[in-house]
Every structure is written in structure tokens, then in C-alpha cells.
Amino acid sequence: MKQRIEKMYVKNKRVIVRVDYNVPINNGYILDDTKIVASLETIRFLIKNNCKIILLSHLGKVKTEEDKYRNSLEPVAKRLKELLNHEVYFSHEIMSPSVQERVKILKEGEILLLENTRFLDVPNKLESSCDAQVSSFLASLGDIFINDAFSSSHRAHASTVGITKYLSSGIGFSVERELAALDKFLKNPEHPFTLIMGGAKIEDKLPLIETLLPKCDHLLLAGGLANSFLKALNFNIGASLATKDKEILEKLKQILLNHREKLMLPLDAVVGSTYDKNYTRYRKINEIDDNEIILDIGVHTLAKYRLAIKESKTIFLNGTMGLYEDSRFSNGTKELLTMLKDCSAVVVVGGGDSVSAVNHFGFSDDLTYLSCGGGATLEYLIEGHLVGIDCIMEESNVEILDV
């Protein structure tokens, strides 16, 4: 187990916490504060321990000066203050003597959120390239570093990895929860273990399929992903989203041949059309026209998938069954999530859009675990480790550091 915040001597110390406040914001209004809520347990623990708390996070993509206008963390400071019912100070600067001065006068129990660390990327990518000067500057602001941003832990940035070279470091409560859940449910799953993979692009998901296929008993395919498998089998999928890469198609064919007893493909679909935005039809999978686009799974597919779900003990879902953002093509995702809600298996959902779909349909309290790590979750499941977690010491090795 990695060094946990609870086991560290944090009392009265200056603690830097890398949080994940990469939340959707529109005109200064936070559309979803789940990630802010996820950080509260760690922050409250530090307040209780009289720490001076310095928070770091990125927000959105920052490549130009203009990007800075829409990606300020200032609205997050306000929301955090409301959620904690506790003052949260905000610093527009990240790396300057005035930040050091500000930290110097921070009192015990006070919180200072610094501006988006990715602002340091303009123009020289100092945050993303894990620049040594930035890393040591950030480290100079505290005595201890806590990583509580699982979803940023696959990136070797100054605020995730670089800073750990200079400070005694540990993981926060939300990272601990993510690691424990993914290890418990997916590294050693109880069988039958069913993998449900949907979503857009096979290119993004093939490594995960290849890693989990030997471990699972069923692989149910849907979404754009299934289209590529159907294409590899020479089905006419019309104008549906699918890979054009011949090597990938050949790989899918081999997967289909080698694991035919595990794989399940859609039997039917709800389709749109290239020439009419309002067109929707129900189609059997072998009756798709050239101009039609597969955008959801059909009722017979759902009935078939229900049987596998019913007998499963562990289920991992990644990717949606169709274009769930459009209500005409959301039935497959909604019905499948309903089956997962009602089944007796341990159900883990991972992936940015998949978790959004669960929240969208209101099922977030009904499933065993929602992994909010996005790309980091998938990388952890594929690689078995993450660079931002690797750089934190094991609990058993740290006593020397802290005494």
C-alpha cells in the first residue's frame, strides 16, 4: 500500500494537495461539481489537523494566452468555499515571490487555491514537461505533498510527479478509494466476470480489451466499438463509425476467432441516416443500408445481453451503448444501466463518458463503484500502475522520512 495521508505526520504542517478540479465550467458556472466534492474528505482531514493547505489543480486545455480566460480556477474556489463552509483564498499567480509571501502568512486551517497549473504551459510547457524549476518551486511552498487527483496520475507533470522528488509524499482519500476499488474488483474479480465495452473508437479501447479478455468470461460489445468488429466479419455497417485501419481489422478478426465463446455482438440496432437528420429506424444487424448509421443497440441485443448480466458476479462497463447524448439513441444505454442497477453482481463503471451517462440517467447511487479516473482508470487497468502513483513511496518504507 502506498503512503496514506492518515499515516503521515501532517499536524500543523504546510500541506500541498494536488486535486482534480478539471470540472466543466460555462461562463463561470460549474456544471458538475462531483470532482470538487471528491476532494472534501482530504481537505476536511487537513483542516482538522490544523494544516496550512495549498491546493494545486489543472483545468481544461491551456495552449494559448486566450485559453486562460475560460480556464481560470477562480469559480472553483467559490464553489469549494460553499461546499466546505470555510474560507478559501485564491491566488491568481502560481509561480512568483508573491505566492511565497502569501503562503508565509497563511494561518493554520486556512486554504489557498492557486490558479490553473497549466497556465505555466504557455509558452514553454513548463507544467506538462515536468520542469525541474517549477517542480522545486511548487515544493518550496509546503512541507508535505498529497496526491488526491487519481485522474491526473497518468501524467508526469510538475504538479503530479516533479514535486514528489522534493517532498515527503502520500495519497489522499479519493486516490486511496480508487486504487482499492480497482484492485479489489478488477484485478481479482469474482467469476463469472463480464466486460461490457461500448463507446466510440476501437483504437482507444483495443489495449483494454486485450488486457481484460483473458480474465473475463463474457465480453459484450456495443457502440462504435462493435461496428468495427462487425466490419471485420464483413457485415455491411453502412456509414457507421468504424476503424479503417486494416491491421486493426485483422486483429479484431483474430480476437473473434480465438475468443468466439466469450464474445457477444449486437443482433439489432437503431440507425440514423447520412441524408436526413430526422431519420431513425429499427434494423436487424444484417439489414443495414449503405447510407444508414448504427447509433444504438436494439431490443434483441439487450435481451441477449441481459442473460449474461444476470449470471455474472462481477461486471465492468466502459463506453456507452450508443449515442446516448441524443434521446433517440439513448435507450440502449439507459436500459443496459437499468439491468446493471438491478443485477446482483459487483458493478464497476469506468471512463469519462460512461460515468457521465450513469449520472445523466440518475444511477450513480445504485452501482457498486464509479471510477472517475477517465483515461487514468483505463491506463491503470491496462498497465497495472500509474506514473503519478509510482513516485509515491510504499507505506512500509517511509518512517525514516517523517520521524
Binding site for ligand ADP (CB under 6 A): 198-200, 223-224, 241, 294-295, 318-320, 322-325, 351-354
Shorter beta-carbon distance to ligand ADP: residue 196 or 346: 196
CB of 350 to Mg ion, least distance (A): 11
- Distance of alpha carbon 123 from alpha carbon 63, whole angstroms: 8
Note whether 379 binds Mg ion by CB under 5 A.
no
CB of 350 to ligand ADP, least distance (A): 7
The entry of Mg ion, ligand ADP, none near residue 158 (CB within 5 to 8 angstroms by kind) is none
Asked if 116 contacts 59 with a C-beta cutoff of 8 angstroms, the reply is: yes
Alpha helices in 85-159 (DSSP H): 97-104, 132-140
Shorter beta-carbon distance to Mg ion: residue 266 or 374: 374
Note whether 207 binds Mg ion by CB under 5 A.
no
Shorter beta-carbon distance to Mg ion: residue 176 or 353: 353
Candidates 60, 207, 352, 375; binder of Mg ion (CB under 5 A) is 352
The entry of Mg ion, ligand ADP, none near residue 318 (CB within 5 to 8 angstroms by kind) is ligand ADP
CB of 65 to Mg ion, least distance (A): 28
Asked if 317 contacts 352 with a C-beta cutoff of 8 angstroms, the reply is: no
Q: Kindly tell me the number of DSSP H helices and DSSP E strands found in the chain.
A: 16, 17
Grid coordinates representing 209 are 480489451
Distances (CA, A) of 247 to 79, 232, 244, 252, 264: 48, 10, 9, 9, 22
The entry of Mg ion, ligand ADP, none near residue 388 (CB within 5 to 8 angstroms by kind) is none
- Distance of alpha carbon 315 from alpha carbon 124, whole angstroms: 43
Look at residues 57, 44, 36 and name the one whose alpha carbon lies nearest to residue 10.
44
Candidates 20, 110, 292, 353; binder of Mg ion (CB under 5 A) is 353
Residues 312-341 that bind Mg ion (CB under 5 A): none
- Distance of alpha carbon 218 from alpha carbon 116, whole angstroms: 42
Give 341-385 as a DSSP string: HHSSSEEEEESHHHHHHHHHTT-TTTSSEEETTTHHHHHHHHHS-
Distances (CA, A) of 231 to 42, 259, 269, 313: 48, 17, 15, 31
CB of 204 to ligand ADP, least distance (A): 6
CB of 97 to Mg ion, least distance (A): 41
Look at residues 38, 35, 37, 44 and name the one whose alpha carbon lies nearest to residue 15.
44
Shorter beta-carbon distance to ligand ADP: residue 13 or 35: 35
Note whether 375 binds Mg ion by CB under 5 A.
no
**Which span (1-9, 125-133, 285-293, 345-353) binds Mg ion, by CB under 5 A?**
345-353
Give the interface size with Mg ion as a residue count (CB under 5 A): 2
- Distance of alpha carbon 349 from alpha carbon 337, whole angstroms: 10
Shorter beta-carbon distance to ligand ADP: residue 22 or 72: 22
Shorter beta-carbon distance to ligand ADP: residue 287 or 325: 325
Shorter beta-carbon distance to ligand ADP: residue 142 or 322: 322
Note whether 110 binds Mg ion by CB under 5 A.
no
- Distance of alpha carbon 62 from alpha carbon 53, whole angstroms: 25
The residues binding Mg ion (CB under 5 A) are: 352-353
